[in-house]
Chain A
């Protein structure tokens, strides 16, 4: 197992390097980092020349990539091109907010999804099953941004009509620098959490149901029933535990989708997370911040892919790694 993990980590290093190189190539050919500065009449020609030199923008792309790579490791992702501020503190700040939202919503979505999936599978083709099947079909067709916007409008309207503040509809805290674990914070992140929750729940309940049905129809469950094991014990001991295995993979592999959902959701709710930060960096054409986001999220995705594979092997002894 350890050698498998080590080999996977070693394999992902060149993949990450290559993907970062291709992104860098693409980003630097597609956008001129100082184009916006050049439009600013207060930035002198000399400053632009100095900046170009200082940022190594006069060198070929290959050379710039290695300067950038050096910055990534030696200087924690380097500095922004536009504001010249260090990028790492911004990543850690926004990431902590995004992580809070994602962890809460995922925790709830997994629990709810599993519960509903189990019940739908046991009572297949019941009213309950059809209801949640329809809900998840809607969930697959819902654009995340529209769902977020609807929630925002609904709770803004509640506030405007009845002057009741249930959830806040933008930002992180009522006062800057508010605590990360307070009622106020929870009121602020409730709607983003709800948005991501609904989207993930549709996926997980569907998978859990399918996975339960798979196991229920397998031979060893029939054997257990034939032996006279009580039904609840068959479901909880034999079916449920085996049906969980594919779910771990699905949740781990869903991280890319979640990060995408976070971009949209955080933008709607002006939440100071990494997705909103990324959109702002894109609009400002801050290429090094864009690169920083791509690198950080790629590492996260690769890491979760690895976790998915390793836990799968750990949970299912039939899978052997060698």
Chain B
């Protein structure tokens, strides 16, 4: 079973390299950009063919190019949200778990508060009122809600580790708070942080796609996979407009989850492997 899981993790890694590579090198893989229109009759809503791998949309834009550039947007949102919220969560969780006291109390009450709110509804409200349109503002809103989960995890690890003998020994030999927190305890928390951060990439991509699909996320002209599916709603007979962006999202999130699960097995054997 271990081998099977690791094979999946490798497969996921390979898939991610291919898909994200396509996003990073969008200029070369999908030259001509995502917005070149072609109003010739034969080019409107054309079936997938060798000229247009994923067909074209209602104004003759190459769907393949739009999906590739959409991958780039999704990837940027996912990685940015995961990285920034991991960093914030790491600092806040470390301080709360290490010092305890009122900082810890405040953090716990705050995360309690976030947990009482319907997550998607709050994100929708935030992006409807503040962030619609720009991909970076949407990312900022996602970060504002994602860091609390990671902070909770980090806090838990710090709470248990600060009582360990090796920390006491370091303290006895004169290490300061900062040194204890970041030199001695931090390396032992990296496992859960990396695992949670990786899985957060997938969650962020899914949430961003849902927001964009509801027309409350990233707005055109920036291509996003959720936005492409939203636009495809008007053309249910043109299956390629719905299928290709959707399959792309599923593949990205699937690969991210495989990698996350593999990392969990490798780095963090204590954690249960239930949620993908």
Contact = CB atoms under 8 A, between A and B. Distances in A.
Interface in B109-153: 112-113, 115-122, 124-126, 128-130
A16 B116 contact: yes
B206 interface: yes
Which of B112, B117, B237, B242: most chain A CB closer than 10 A?
B117
Interface string B86-120: 00000000000000000000000000110111111
A207 interface: yes
Contacts of A30: 126, 129-130
Interface residues of A, number: 51
Contacts of A301: 115-118
B118 A260 contact: yes
B117 A298 contact: yes
A214 to B, nearest CB: 9
Q: Give the interface residue-count category, chain B.
A: 35 or more
Interface stretch (A37-45, A71-79, A224-232, A276-284): A276-284
A19 interface: yes
Nearest to B212: A145
A243 interface: no
A22 B113 contact: yes
Given A136-B276, A256-B118, A301-B116, A143 B125 contact: no
A98 to B, nearest CB: 12
Contacts of B206: 141, 143
Contacts of B214: 145, 263-264, 267, 279
B253 interface: yes
B55 to A, nearest CB: 15
A172 interface: no
Interface stretch (A56-64, A100-108, A150-158): A150-158
B118 A138 contact: no
Interface string A73-94: 0000000000000000000000
A136 B276 CA distance: 9
Given A141-B253, A141-B257, A145-B229, A260 B116 contact: no
A15 B116 CA distance: 8
Which secondary structure characterizes the binding site on chain B?
helix
A272 B249 CA distance: 28
Contact of B113 (A18, A153, A260, A294): A18
Interface in A26-42: 26-27, 30-31
Contacts of B124: 263, 278-279, 282
Interface in A134-192: 136-138, 140-146, 149-150, 152-153, 156-157
Contact of A125 (B1, B213, B258, B275): B1
Which of B1, B210, B257, B272: most chain A CB closer than 10 A?
B210
B1 to A, nearest CB: 7
A123 to B, nearest CB: 14
Contacts of A144: 210
B254 A290 contact: no
Contacts of B1: 125
Nearest to A160: B237
A118 to B, nearest CB: 16
Contacts of A109: none
22 contacts: A15-B112, A23-B125, A30-B129, A137-B257, A141-B249, A141-B253, A143-B210, A143-B226, A143-B253, A145-B214, A146-B250, A149-B232, A149-B246, A152-B236, A206-B274, A210-B274, A256-B118, A257-B119, A278-B124, A290-B125, A294-B122, A298-B118
Interface of B: 1, 112-113, 115-122, 124-126, 128-130, 202, 206, 209-210, 213-216, 226, 229, 232-233, 236-237, 239, 242, 246, 249-251, 253-254, 257-258, 272-276
